[in-house]
Structure 1
Amino acid sequence: MERIDRARLEAMLMDPDVPDAAIRPYLQLDPLETSAFEPAVVPNTARVAFAATEAAMALSSLNGIARWRRQQRYARKIRGWTGLKVVAEGDSWFQYPFLIDDVIDHLFDRWAIYCVSAAGDLLQDMARQEEVTVAVLSEKPDVLLLSGGGNDVLGGGALQKYLLRHDPALDAAGHVGPAFDGILNGTIGIYADLIERSLAAGAKRVVCHSYDYVIATGGRWLGRPMLAQGITDPHLQREILKVLIDRFHEALVGMAAGFGTRVSIADCRGRVPDSAWFDELHPTSQGFAFPARVILGAVEGMTESVFLAMPEMPVTERPLPAGEPDAAGQLLDADEEALIEEIGRRQAVLEITPEARDTLALDLPVAGTEAVRLPFRELGQTIVARLERELYTLVCTQEGAPERETLRASLSLPQSGLVGVLTTALIGLGCPPFLAPLVAAVIVKRGIAPVWEETCRLWADRLDQPAEPAPVGG
């Protein structure tokens, strides 16, 4: 792909007729500034040339530019428009700038949507800024779409406030501490207040949505807080997150009931395939099509069979894991030999500093010292071979183990997601968190097939194991 200069990028950004998909290759996520439901987008300096006197920070308002472009397209579309008019307010599920086609992108052609959403907004931000009230007063929409609460109950380190320390005697719900009730009740209270003000401003109908069952993949928002509490079993992690999403949905439904038929909830749970998640909190462009259809059905009164049967909306996917905010992408980009050497070096560190064992240092730099490369590399190779053999035993021969079924079901995830899933599995097998993400990255780089039987054959060839995995359902 050609490298462009800053002036060319700015011209593309300021022309609403240039589709986001054409701009997407020249942008990336900022791994330092990106947080839970607040993706921060910056120019990709590998594809955009800046003069010596220029700074990429001059384009740090790309999130705002994305919203401006959408509003410009709305202003042109609304002239003479006779179809459904919509105001949308929400978080990054409604406004993921440039890099992913979010819910509103999927619905924009069908309706005239005036979107005041901003990635990263908490519900209290939406209520305080009063943008939605002003938008309802000025645009007089047929429907108001609201997306919020995910950042309040899952983002910003929220899990660390209410998840309890792992206890094998507790089920998934038992690991959710009483502090969650306070966070959830506060969130729903702000939701109700925001809806009440919107209805008073003239909104005819309000449609909110629940979130889908997010997946912890060892990332900073879900995986690491769980690992910090000793919750390492991927199956238990998914069950806990399901409890949280279900309770959020139930609270939304209860709140909406107080407004009668004027407020409805689009149930987006269980819609996005495991392979269609971009990160721990956001689907991919194709993945967002599923909740978009559920919301479409709720707005237009369609039955599920009707909106699921609609033709797919064309979108342009962004390759993964390029631009991922988590360190998994950095590990996958690293040279395999350097990773193996680093594993050996870290094992040597553990022998001197055992307290480093429980450090989940996903984003430590991969580096080595040339003078001691061979001993570290040999040690690293030994560790990787041993742990890959243990994974093979778990996935390919231990029938009936719940964690085995979770691992098998996760093999179709993007590579960055696989690193997170294998990291938690390796920790469950006794691998120190200090080593686990690097070992997981090496195993993924060596090859993982979407179908577990094929993965077992790949591992069997490398490990000189029997080629035939155990039959399903044993």
Structure 2
Amino acid sequence: MAAYWDEASMQRAHATPSILGIGDSWFWYPFPGGSLISYLGPLVDKKEHTVLVCGMNGAEAFDYVDGKYKNLITGALRRYGRSLSAVFISGGGNDFAGFNDMRPLLNLDCSNAQRAADCFRNGDGGLGRFLESMDQYYRRLIGLIYTLTSLDCLIVMHSYDYAIPDGRGVMRGKGWLKPALVDAGVPEPLQSDCVRYLIDAFHAMLTDIASTDPSHLLIVDSRGTLAERDWANELHPKGAGFRKIVRERWKPVLESENLA
């Protein structure tokens, strides 16, 4: 087995991780079809890598450095860091998904907006401050990884994809994006544009971080990979969608670094 979501199971199998996955539901999605790791595991297994995944569904970037998964992640890095070839990070999506996270990023009334940029707040509590927070959490996590791994350990981040704000949640639940957009009065034709604008801004933030150490910090740009039929709900692809992202976007990056 190339990937483990439980350290005890990995230890019972007498395996040691060479890749640590720190992630949210894009690494942990529990429904049929699995997650990115379900397809990354077999891919890196060709190079005899084993992946141990930390985090959980719903994890936010804050949780990795100051919250509920801080000790878990720090412990795993201390135990295995010197033998790691890479660390995969999936974080940030839950920080803007959900009414209480998305709504504060939007203006009070967007009904007269002509473009997506007009819908986002500036200043305290707005999109700029949100991206500053994401930047800080990522840089702190990367600093921790630098400290506890070898000099040649790679750090691979990804930018999700352009989710479709159609109101679909998990198990007939509410979506994470559309309720906030509707409450803000964002015109229907602009709602998808707003999500694209947000994902593009997030990707730009990751690109800025990666530019500080391009030899070790890698970005998988998965934007624009999925068609509407590839999404299971507002935030998660179907299994075939995750597989598509791994095949088309992750595989070339990992092959270029001899990880797959």
TM-score bracket, shorter-length normalisation? 0.7 to 0.9
Residue 38 of structure 2 is matched in structure 1 by 105
1:134 to 63, 72, 75: 75
User: What does 1:111-130 align with in structure 2 at a 5 Å threshold?
Assistant: 111=45, 112-128=50-66, 129-130=70-71
Q: Which amino acid aligns with 1:220?
A: G
Residue 145 of structure 1 is matched in structure 2 by 88
Residue 209 of structure 1 is matched in structure 2 by 158
Residue 187 of structure 1 is matched in structure 2 by 134
2:105 is equivalent to residue 162 of structure 1 = yes
Q: Which amino acid aligns with 1:105?
A: S
CA deviation after TM superposition for structure 1 residue 176, in Å: 1.2
1:291 to 223, 237, 245: 245
CA distance in 1, matches of 2:77, 2:202: 26
CA distance in 2, matches of 1:192, 1:300: 25
Residue 382 of structure 1 is matched in structure 2 by none
Q: Which amino acid aligns with 1:300?
A: E
Is 2:105–2:121's contact at 8 Å kept on the other side of the alignment?
yes
CA deviation after TM superposition for structure 1 residue 73, in Å: 5.0
Q: Which amino acid aligns with 1:76?
A: A
- Aligned identity (percent) is 27
Is 2:155–2:218's contact at 8 Å kept on the other side of the alignment?
yes
2:161 is equivalent to residue 220 of structure 1 = no
Residue 240 of structure 1 is matched in structure 2 by 194
Q: Which amino acid aligns with 2:39?
A: H
Deviations 1:361-393 (A, max 9, x none): xxxxxxxxxxxxxxxxxxxxxxxxxxxxxxxxx
Deviations 1:404-457 (A, max 9, x none): xxxxxxxxxxxxxxxxxxxxxxxxxxxxxxxxxxxxxxxxxxxxxxxxxxxxxx
CA distance in 2, matches of 1:277, 1:264: 25
CA distance in 2, matches of 1:100, 1:263: 29
2:119 is equivalent to residue 175 of structure 1 = yes
CA distance in 2, matches of 1:102, 1:157: 25
CA distance in 1, matches of 2:55, 2:42: 17
Secondary structure at 2:88 match in 1: strand
CA deviation after TM superposition for structure 1 residue 222, in Å: 0.9
Per the alignment, do residues 71 and 263 of structure 1 end up closer, same or farther by CA in structure 2, a change over 3 Å counting? farther
CA distance in 2, matches of 1:154, 1:162: 11
Q: Which amino acid aligns with 1:183?
A: F
CA distance in 1, matches of 2:117, 2:175: 22
Is 1:132–1:198's contact at 8 Å kept on the other side of the alignment?
no
CA deviation after TM superposition for structure 1 residue 71, in Å: 5.8
Number of aligned residues = 233
CA deviation after TM superposition for structure 1 residue 232, in Å: 3.9
Secondary structure at 2:161 match in 1: coil
CA deviation after TM superposition for structure 1 residue 256, in Å: 1.5
Deviations 1:148-187 (A, max 9, x none): 0111123352221021222435311111111111111101
Is 1:74–1:114's contact at 8 Å kept on the other side of the alignment?
no
CA distance in 2, matches of 1:71, 1:300: 29
2:205 is equivalent to residue 251 of structure 1 = yes
Is 1:172–1:243's contact at 8 Å kept on the other side of the alignment?
yes
Unaligned runs of 5+ residues in structure 1 are 1-15, 17-65, 308-474
Deviations 1:246-282 (A, max 9, x none): 0000011101212331111110100111101111000
Greater than 6 Å deviation, 4+ residue runs: none
2:217 to 242, 248, 263: 263
Per the alignment, do residues 71 and 216 of structure 1 end up closer, same or farther by CA in structure 2, a change over 3 Å counting? farther
Q: TM-score, normalised by structure 2?
A: 0.81
Deviations 1:2-29 (A, max 9, x none): xxxxxxxxxxxxxx9xxxxxxxxxxxxx
Deviations 1:187-234 (A, max 9, x none): 11111110111111015110000010000113431111111122241x
Secondary structure at 1:221 match in 2: coil
Q: TM-score, normalised by structure 1?
A: 0.46
Secondary structure at 1:260 match in 2: coil
Per the alignment, do residues 117 and 190 of structure 1 end up closer, same or farther by CA in structure 2, a change over 3 Å counting? same
CA deviation after TM superposition for structure 1 residue 100, in Å: 4.0
2:17 is equivalent to residue 76 of structure 1 = no
Where relative contact order (Cα < 8 A, 6+ residues apart) is larger, the structure is: 2
Bigger-Rg structure (1/2): 1
Residue 413 of structure 1 is matched in structure 2 by none
